[in-house]
Every structure is written in C-alpha cells, then in structure tokens.
Amino acid sequence: MGSRAERGRRVRTDGVELCVVEAGDPARPTVVLVHGYPDTKEVWDEVAARLVDRHDLHVVRYDVRGHGGSTAPGTPAGGYTLEKLTGDFLAVADAVSPDAPVHLVGHDWGSVQGWEFVTVDRTRGRIASFTSVSGPSLDHFGHWAAGRRARPTPRAAAQLLGQTARFWYVAALHAPGVAERAWRSGLGRRWPGFLARAHRVPPGAHPAPSTPSDGARGAWLYRDNVRPRVRAPRADAYAHVPVQLVVPSDDAFVSPAVFDGLERWVPELTRRTLDARHWVPRTHPDRLATWVADFVAAHHAGETAAAVAGAAGAAGAAGATRATGRRGRRADRYAERFAGLLVLVTGAGKGIGRATALAFARAGARVVVVDRDAVAARRTVREARAAGAAGAWSEAVDVGDGDAMAELAARVHAEHGVVDVLVNNAGVGLAGPFLDTTPEEWRQALDVNLWGVVHGCRLFGAGMAERGQGGHIVNIASAAAFLPSRTMPVYGATKAAVLALSESLRAELAGRGIGVSAICPGIVRTDIAATTRFAGADAAEQERRRTSANRLYRLRGYPPERVARAVLGAVARDRPVVAVSPEARAVRALARYAPKVLRRAARFGSPR
C-alpha cells in the first residue's frame, strides 16, 4: 500500500499551471475530484480523507484554472470555456493515471465540467465512471428548458419558473465587473458565515483564503459557457460512461426536476437522493464517500467488483452493481435514497423488525440486525443478504440492558461506522388489569418497550449528532398510544411514552439535521399476541388468552411488510407520526377530535 500522505505536483497545460494533490496508493483505482464555484480543491478535504483511509483508493484533486493554487489564463474572456477545461482535466488524468481510466467526481461547476468530459469523444477511454453532485449538464439543461417552453403544461411551466428563480445569481455573474467588485469588497469575508447559516456548512479549511479572487475569476466559467450552451445545446451529448447522480433534495440552486428525463442521455444511470443542501461534500462526506467508493467498485475495468471494493467491502460493491440496471433504475422505489446507508433495527428476528430490515436490504442498505434471539437474528441476516443488502450483520442483545446496548453501540461504530437510520422496534406485550399487574411485570415491560428505545436513541443518536451529518431515528410505538384501554394499561402507557419521547426528541434534534419518527401500527399479523403476558392469569388462562388473541391477529391479516413500507416512507419524507392500518388511523382521529368517545368505549368489556 502506498503512502496516505498528500503529494503535490504542478501540471502545465494551455498556458496555465494546475495545482494538483494526490493521496493513496497509485496502484489502486484513481478517483479525480473536481470542485465547483467559488470553491477550491479543499472543498473535498473530508471526502478525500475517507476515500483514502476507509476505502483504500488513489484520490486526486486539483484547483480549476484561476482558482486556489492554480494560475489563471492571461486573458479571462474565452479562457474558461468547457473545451479548455476538458484539456485541463485530460492533462491531470494523464499525469496521475497514464495507463488506466480514472473515476470522475464533480460538485457544482465541477459536475458541470464533468458532464462535458463524459459526453465528448476526446475523453473516451480515459474515464471509467462519473459521479455528479449538484451540477447539471448545460446541454441537457438546454434541452430540458426548451422542452418545457415547447409544451407549457402547468407543471412544466412551474418547473421552468422555479429553476429560473434559482438561477438568479447567474444573471448577476454575467454583469460586467459586478462579481469582481462584490467578491473583493466584502463578499469574500462574509462567505464562510453565509455557508454556515444558509447551507449548514461546518467551519474548517473551506472556504480557502483565496475565495475573493476565486469568486472574481470564476465568474468567467458562467460568462464563457452558460448562454452559448443553453441557447444551442449539443444534440449528441450522450454519456459514454456509467453515471451516478447525487441529488440533494433541498438544493437552493438546482431543482431535482432539472434531472427528469436524464435517462435519455445516460444509458446506465444510478440516481441517489440525499436529504441535504447544496454543499454535500462538506455536509455529508461519509455518505458521499461511501456512494463513490461503491460506484468505483462496481465499474472499475480490469478488476472484479469484489477485488476493487477492498476496505469498502465486497458486499458494498455488489450493492452498487445492483443499483444500476436497465435505465439505471432499481425496482425498489427507495433505492436511490437508502443504498449504502447503515441501518440498525432492534427486534429484527421476526415480525415488524424483520420485515423492516428486509425492506431496507432490498433498497441496498447495510443492515445491522439486533435481537435477543441469536438464531432468529442470523436467519434475518441470511434473508437480508439474499434480498440485496450491501452488507448485513447480526447482534444478539437485550435492548433493556443498558450496559449491553452501550457495548453494542461502541462495537457497531468501530466496525461499521455511524448509524444513518436507527429503528427501535423491539417490544413485548403485556395485558390485563392494572391492579393485577405486578411491579416485576411493569419492570419487564418498561425495560424493553421504553428503556430499549431510550438506550437506542441516546447511544446511537449521540453518534449521529457528533458526526454532524444528519440521520434518522424511528421508534415503533402503537395505536395503543392513542387509546385508553382497561385491557392494556401497561402496554399502552409504554407506547404513549415512546410517542411523547419521539415528539420531544424530534424538536431537540431538528437543528442537527436528525429526523425522528414515531410509527403507530394497529393490529398486525405478528407473533406478539402469542407471547404476550396476561397479568393475574394462571398458566391455563394465559394459554387460552394467547390463543384467542393470536387468532384475532391472524384473522386481521395485516402484514408486517406494510408497516415496514411505512417506516421507509417516514424516513424518506421525514414524517413525525405515522398511524399504520385503518384502525390505527381511526383511533388517532378519534383521539384528536372525539376523545370522549374513546374514553367511554374504554369502560366497556371485561379485562378478564
């Protein structure tokens, strides 16, 4: 393995000198990272470190002409055309990887350049794959805009108007001298604060000290290219390499709608959606590095995906391969959002937990299956791997044991990284009158149903918060949380506590980009009724009541897979509370609008 220390070099091309740095073993696949406007190569610091240290790749970054440590063309006008930028990229690629194609990753204007690189003939054979982040092809955008003007449906008109509004700054950058004066008279000093406030970019090496001059010179990227290409887009702008598209859902500059119909131009497209703002390399380096490494593993010519995966793991490479199929789409609707994420599910040996783990597995996530039944956990792992998980591991843990959960959190973090999605599902049933319930029965129910959730949220939520790249916590409550019941007072109390905790935690963690959802199923076809304890009943009565309750659950026939789909939907849409099944929605509605009806109904029927 080569040195992980960064090595600098100067690459001369077309009258400019490009500042290039590389790290990692040159014998490994080479990834070239291209920055946007008004950034420098330092915007990639966090991503580059992860690609080298965690995924053992050869990583190269360079300052685009006129930015950072690179020199500027003598005459700005005409010095920043896409044709010249393509020549710069080829000069860098030839210097750092003369004998093998490179894997290209671009953000913002680096992505705009990247689309040019992968659609022109002069780069054929020099690029193995392209990951695009927050930057469309000017040619594709020109065709997209023209198509909406030609067929002005209300939806098309709204999309075009919305994207035009997002491009307000493009017009400003075309005004002679405006960008130069703005960047050098104070915008450069204020830029770090703007990124922190508006785009949640953490402080650090980015932006570079050269930002004022970078912003002033970089305006020519727009002046030399935008109007000519958008007005007269190329008709042959077809990508000749596989493309991975990373789309931030809350991008202030590029609407996700701009990429609709991209399959026309890209024969092999993998689309990822990320709950993030524009500066993904700085706000979500873990996720981006994982996706890039998996995509490299799946598309590196001359080596098998498993061999290239290396530190990223062969399973991750397989997951990336499955993410690209015909038209670059998975059958699973959530693949573009969850592929490669680390998901931990408690109580995943059977029932809702098992169905949820498998649903995330089918979306290409890496899944940690936790259950106190080790055999059941291993069975779910086998099924998850067969379903398409990018990795699956089992852990036999009692979620009510705080020490064991702390050890689990430390082990998962050390072996797999920070959990992206936590699903606190483990639960036990307890029925019977309150006055017949013993303190020990209370303790057992609280340990699993409430303390298990508390331990999970505290231990794994802390990791999400410390990482600072967001995440999501899902707590499985129950429709019983809305429902007063003389037959399930203890169970209902624990689930109501889970619901209240989820709502409070959602408010606390919102500022850290961490979502919290409470899922409240009704009667679901699982084994919980068959294992429920009935307070105050002898052994024979216990068995009779379990058989009767289990029969009801089976007759209801509501599958756990539908709850699992609700879990994935809640994470994808950041929903606070989801009542699953018709009876759960009805009970929730009554609790909100007609609580007296539920209170009166709770008085009838014997708890015996």
Annotated active-site positions, please?
A: 491
- Residue at token pair 């959730």: 453
- From the list 484, 431, 481, the residue with the least C-alpha distance to 608 is 431
Q: Is the peptide bond before 484 cis (omega within 30 degrees of 0)?
A: no
Amino acid identity for residue 346 in this structure: T
The dihedral formed by the CA atoms of 153, 155, 160 and 166, expressed in degrees to the nearest 10: 160
Measure the CA–CA gap between 521 and 515, rounded to whole angstroms: 19
Give, for 355, the enclosing helix (H) or strand (E).
helix 351-362
The DSSP symbol for 63 reads: P
Cβ atoms 71, 80 nearer than 8 A: no
Q: Which amino acid is at 4?
A: R
CB 135 within 8 A of CB 43: no
Query: Residues of 176-215 as b/e, b for ≥16 C-beta within 10 angstroms?
Result: eeebbebbeeebbeebeeebeeebbbeeeebbbebbbbbb
Rounded to the nearest 10 degrees, how much is the dihedral formed by the CA atoms of 132, 134, 135, 137?
60
The residue assigned the tokens 């591991």 is: 393
DSSP code for 167 = T
Cβ neighbours around 493 below 10 Å, total: 20
Four-point Cα dihedral 416, 419, 420, 425, nearest 10: 130
**312 alpha-carbon distance from chain centroid:** 17
CA distance 60 to 33: 6
Count other C-beta atoms under 10 Å from residue 604's C-beta. Answer: 7
The number of residues in the chain equals 608
Measured distance CA(296)–CA(71) in Å, rounded? 31
Query: Residue 261: how many CA atoms within 13 Å on its side-chain side?
Result: 12
Q: Is the peptide bond before 38 cis (omega within 30 degrees of 0)?
A: yes
Q: In what order do the strands lie in the sheet containing 102-107?
A: 7-13, 16-23, 58-62, 30-34, 102-107, 127-133, 243-248, 269-274
Which residue bears the tokens 């793991």?
Answer: 313
How many CB atoms lie under 10 A from the CB of residue 454? Answer: 20
Helix axes 45-53, 285-299, angle to 10 degrees: 50
